[in-house]
Structure 1
């Protein structure tokens, strides 16, 4: 069986991107209207942090690859492309499955250009459609059934994006949310960890935490 993730093409790109991402903490953000990331709009934050990679961890990427290989989803959705690190893991798995497509969404024009170049360099560009703009708009028309979702964009939007996608999730679809240790993920975690909302959910101990939620499609109501 092939393992595109370990190919020299993909490893070379990933190694370069992770090395660049190591400098995120030393990279100043761009100008922000009002001067505060906390009060900036999603687009203002995307523009201000255009030079920041904000990646998943390598171990988290391996987990994503394994989940896509195991589940063999025909449609994978990613909220938050950035420079395409997580996208490379998803696309490598789709390539090795022999079928499927990744739909990713990103607000930063700088990052979209870079991510497309990175995917092409790795030989995976044909498997990924990067949608430019607000995820609540760009993901509205992605066709279902959706078999796997990665939520790694702005944290306060993870729950609204999930709710947008829910009608198109296949039974048994996996929803993976990154950075669950951030306080802004509290509402999302409350939602997927409540059995009444139709998920079986477990935290996975990678850097900054990932929540893996299986969409059972079975909601419960109080009698």
Structure 2
């Protein structure tokens, strides 16, 4: 079977349709989270939310694919893989560009196992390195520049992760943050929208909003 680009590969489409379908249960599952969830550590939250997909939107995924195709990064860094919906979009774009690798982070061992199975089934596992554990630790050890960054993990950690990666950001690097309508994203937004911090930033109206910031 032929297809025009990797996002049209039936294996990718089947996996995305399945995961987006399962993600429709997220609100119901989230309603069963234990009391005190908001004050848990990142590891405790990851374990408690192991069944929640927390995906980007379908439109957000296509936006990421297009941005990667246009900017042609060599190294894509993703904070917050979850079940790998966004990762599939990133890897599909790299496949169609003919080069590049995704380094993605995740705490939940259950999600890592499921995502690795999906990556293998869809034929993009050779493009993806999963960094297991706390992103502030695993990304600190990353020995590569960050040519494109997606921030979609715990919202209070988006700014610390960005600051950690900044020494690896070349001029022109795009940094995309998802779910910018959440109040916990405000410190991050204040930072990237301040010209003194070295970014030109614009909000993009997909679902819960994305912030696209160019490193100057």
The answer for the alignment partner of 2:144 in structure 1 is 144
Task: Map 1:79-98 to 2 at 5 A.
Answer: 79-98=79-98
TM-superposed CA distance for 1:141, in Å, is 2.1
Give distance in 2, aligned partners of 1:28 and 1:185: 20
TM-superposed CA distance for 1:27, in Å, is 1.6
Give distance in 2, aligned partners of 1:160 and 1:196: 17
Is the 8 Å Cα contact of residues 37 and 45 (structure 1) preserved in structure 2? yes
Q: Deviations over 1:71-92 (max 9, x none)?
A: 1100000000000000000000
SS in 2 for 1:56: coil
The alignment yields a C-alpha RMSD, in angstroms, of 1.4
Gaps of 5+ in 2: none
Q: Is 1:132 the equivalent of 2:132?
A: yes
Q: Is 1:76 the equivalent of 2:95?
A: no
The answer for the alignment partner of 1:10 in structure 2 is 12
The answer for the alignment partner of 1:173 in structure 2 is 173
Give distance in 1, aligned partners of 2:149 and 2:48: 26
Q: Is 1:156 the equivalent of 2:156?
A: yes
Gaps of 5+ in 1: 217-223
In the superposition, the TM-score normalised over structure 2's length comes to: 0.96
Which structure is higher in helix share?
2
Give distance in 2, aligned partners of 1:171 and 1:24: 37
The answer for the alignment partner of 1:110 in structure 2 is 110
In the superposition, the TM-score normalised over structure 1's length comes to: 0.93
SS in 1 for 2:180: coil
Q: Deviations over 1:138-194 (max 9, x none)?
A: 011223321110000000000000000000012100000000000000000000000
Which aligned runs of 4 or more in structure 1 are off by greater than 3 angstroms? 28-32
Is the 8 Å Cα contact of residues 33 and 49 (structure 2) preserved in structure 1? no
Aligned length: 214
Is the 8 Å Cα contact of residues 171 and 215 (structure 1) preserved in structure 2? yes
Give distance in 2, aligned partners of 1:173 and 1:28: 34
